């Protein structure tokens, strides 16, 4: 088997209507990018290969796959790098074979690429240090865990032992230690959101995601508090109306509940669908946000005009 055969499949699927001439051109562009072994091809190189203008290719490619040709190429290069590192390749050899022109380019982007340095990723995350804390809340116990870069895991349960087991299962090779107060302000901010109150500050995150997951998660944060959207509505807002199942998977794989509010998504038939921490918690989160949003509206309406 060649190395290219071991590269994971693309982040987004090829267009469903592969019979049309236009969609076949997009598929050709994907194959050209997948087989390009000199880094990331330029838009002009891709367009010339498939016989289209760069402007038309950019528009059609983005409309069909939800990401631009450059974003697609970057993601494929990241996936190839991860595959090579998992196979045990040395970092230097892996970075050049994956198409990175220099080690500095790789390490500059390692946060976005791996969530950790390449050498650490190659060891399955061994040595990554994660601090954790639990606090009581209306939904039971809330666990917040973070690396030095930001929050990497948020969970609910009634048992601290269960929560710690969840964390260890999520990061089996990491060094997991109890927090000594560093997470206090981040945890307080997460609690505000659990209670349905408006955020006071942004929270740094240390999570890995595909380009499509990032788009879904961003869309979830843009849903107003107290409102929910169907997977189909989110998919349409992303310009990918047939991707409701992919939207559902992106919600299900969200490791930082509340911070990325996947509880604001539901099935097209109106059902709340599954929630990793239980449907009762999902219902209470939605109710808390609705109550908080309504309280703000009422308070604003009853306030006297400014003098």
Summarised one tens digit per residue, pLDDT across range 111-135 is 344 454 445 544 545 567 899 999 9
Q: Tell whether the model's pLDDT for residue 265 goes beyond 50.
A: yes
Rounded CA-CA distance 235/249 in Å is 12
Q: State what percent of residues in the chain have pLDDT above 90.
A: 30
CA torsion, points 221, 222, 228, 231, in degrees to nearest 10? -80
Return the pLDDT at 86.
Answer: 53
Q: Tell whether the model's pLDDT for residue 223 goes beyond 70.
A: yes
Rounded CA-CA distance 211/230 in Å is 20
* β-strands 129-137, 151-157 pairing: unpaired
Rounded CA-CA distance 126/76 in Å is 24
Rounded CA-CA distance 40/233 in Å is 33
Q: Tell whether the model's pLDDT for residue 4 goes beyond 60.
A: no
Q: How do residues 72-105 score in pLDDT, each as one tens digit?
A: 877 776 666 666 555 544 444 444 444 444 333 4
Q: Which residues are annotated as catalytic?
A: 262
Lowest mean pLDDT of 44-48, 75-79, 101-105, 244-248, name the range: 101-105
| Distance, CA of 280 to chain centre | 24
Q: Tell whether the model's pLDDT for residue 217 goes beyond 70.
A: yes
Rounded CA-CA distance 177/175 in Å is 7
Separation in Å, CA 267 to CA 13, 234, 263, 270: 22, 11, 11, 5
Rounded CA-CA distance 265/248 in Å is 8
Average pLDDT on 141-146 reads 96
Query: 141: helix, coil or strand?
Result: strand
Q: Tell whether the model's pLDDT for residue 12 goes beyond 60.
A: no
Rounded CA-CA distance 88/91 in Å is 9
Q: Tell whether the model's pLDDT for residue 208 goes beyond 70.
A: yes
Rounded CA-CA distance 237/208 in Å is 23
CA torsion, points 100, 102, 103, 109, in degrees to nearest 10? -60
Return the pLDDT at 14.
Answer: 38
User: What value does the mean pLDDT of the chain take?
Assistant: 76
Q: Tell whether the model's pLDDT for residue 6 goes beyond 80.
A: no
Return the pLDDT at 305.
Answer: 46
DSSP string covering 154-215: EEEES-HHHHHHHHHHHSTTSEEEE--STTHHHHHHHHHHHTTPPPSS---B-----HHHHH
């Amino acid at each position: 088997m060649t190395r290219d055969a071991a590269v994971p499949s693309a982040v987004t699927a090829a267009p469903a209507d592969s019979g049309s001439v236009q969609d076949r051109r997009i598929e050709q562009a994907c194959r050209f990018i997948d087989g390009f072994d000199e880094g990331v091809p330029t838009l002009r190189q891709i367009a010339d290969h498939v016989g289209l203008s760069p402007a038309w290719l950019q528009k059609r490619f983005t409309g069909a796959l939800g990401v631009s040709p450059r974003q697609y190429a970057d993601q494929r290069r990241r996936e190839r790098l991860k595959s090579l590192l998992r196979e045990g390749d040395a970092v230097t050899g892996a970075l050049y074979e994956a198409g990175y022109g220099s080690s500095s380019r790789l390490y500059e982007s390692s946060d976005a690429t791996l969530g950790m340095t390449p050498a650490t990723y190659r060891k399955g995350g061994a040595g990554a240090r994660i601090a954790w804390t639990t606090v009581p809340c209306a939904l039971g116990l809330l666990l917040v865990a973070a690396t030095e870069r930001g929050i990497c895991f948020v969970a609910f349960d009634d048992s601290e032992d269960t929560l710690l087991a969840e964390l260890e299962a999520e990061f089996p090779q990491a060094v997991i230690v109890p927090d000594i107060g560093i997470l206090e302000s981040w945890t307080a901010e997460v609690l505000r959101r659990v209670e349905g109150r408006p955020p006071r500050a942004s929270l740094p995150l240390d999570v890995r995601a595909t380009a499509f997951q990032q788009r879904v998660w961003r869309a979830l944060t843009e849903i107003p508090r107290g409102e929910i959207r169907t997977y189909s509505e989110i998919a349409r807002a992303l310009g990918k109306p047939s991707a409701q199942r992919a939207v559902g998977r992106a919600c299900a794989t969200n490791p930082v509940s509340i911070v990325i509010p996947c509880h604001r998504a539901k099935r097209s038939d109106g059902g709340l669908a599954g929630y990793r921490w239980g449907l009762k918690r999902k219902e209470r989160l939605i109710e808390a946000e609705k109550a908080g949003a309504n309280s703000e509206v009422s308070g604003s309406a009853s306030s006297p005009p400014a003098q």
